[in-house]
Amino acid sequence: MLRKILLGTALVLTACGGSEEETPSMDVAMPGEEPTTTAPTEASTSQPTASEAEIATTWEGADLVASDFVGVEMTEEGALLTRLDEADAPSTGLTGGAHVPYALSETKNLSGFTLRVSVEAKAAGGAPGSFGAAYSTNKKGNSGWYFYEAGQDFETFSFDFTIPYGDSENTSYIGVAPDAGSELIVKQISVEAVQPE
């Protein structure tokens, strides 16, 4: 009988445009037990919260993994990235760029932290080159692509992204993708926690 009532309530909520996120969740009680109600909160997570020291991570260009959109070749200066496909590369999942895995999110909660992602790079060849960089949680959101113009000297390009609240035991990814016709040399990628502006 309790299941029929819960199913009927769910159908009424759906018909009225309600959603489970707008109402407290209720555990189904076994006979003789009292149901418990827990409202979702920004802090709910099954993972311990990361510390700023744990968040700070640096990867070398050699750590970049190629994708279907971007090839990676090692040079003395770093990873040479070449665009393989002119289609729009996604900023979700692994990203469509050459990427590095950020495994801290598998074991620690990063919700609410503002991360500064930095890419030290320069254009390859004789002309400036444009590229994009993105952070993907691989589950609960991504930064979208941030676009930059790289010159002939190494320079650090950075953007900030605040991690959405919620559970995520997935590896996050940082992707870098040169525009079609551009080549890029990436020396280093880093992440650090910063205070939101």
- What is the token pair recorded at 35? 């149901």
Provide the 3-class DSSP secondary structure of residue 54: helix
No. of H helices and E strands in the chain? 2, 12
CA dist 180 and 16 (Å) reads 48
Residue type at 179 in one-letter notation: D
CA–CA dist 16, 10 (Å, integer) = 10
Of 156, 192, 174, nearest to 56 (Cα)? 192
Per-residue pLDDT of the chain (197 residues; tens, 9 = 90+): 333 333 343 433 344 444 333 333 333 333 443 333 222 345 555 788 899 999 999 999 999 999 999 999 999 999 999 999 988 999 999 999 999 999 998 889 999 999 999 999 999 987 899 999 999 998 888 999 999 999 999 999 999 999 998 877 789 999 999 999 899 999 999 999 998 77
pLDDT at residue 166 in the model? 80
Closest CA to 108 of 31, 38, 50: 50
pLDDT at 181: 87
Q: What is the pTM of this model?
A: 0.76
The domains of the chain, with CATH numbers, are 2-38 (no CATH), 52-194 (2.60.120.260)
| DSSP code string of 61-75 | GGG-B--SSEEEEE-
Q: How many residues does the chain have?
A: 197
Q: What share of the chain is helix, strand, coil (3-state, %, to 5)?
A: 15, 40, 45
For position 43, what pLDDT does the model report? Answer: 52
59 forms bridges with which residues in the sheet?
189
Q: What's residue 67's pLDDT?
A: 96
| pLDDT at residue 2, rounded to an integer | 34
Residues 6+ apart with CB under 8 A from 145: 89, 91, 132, 133, 134, 177
Say what the pLDDT of residue 66 is. 97
Question: What six digits make up the tokens of 192?
Answer: 């650090």
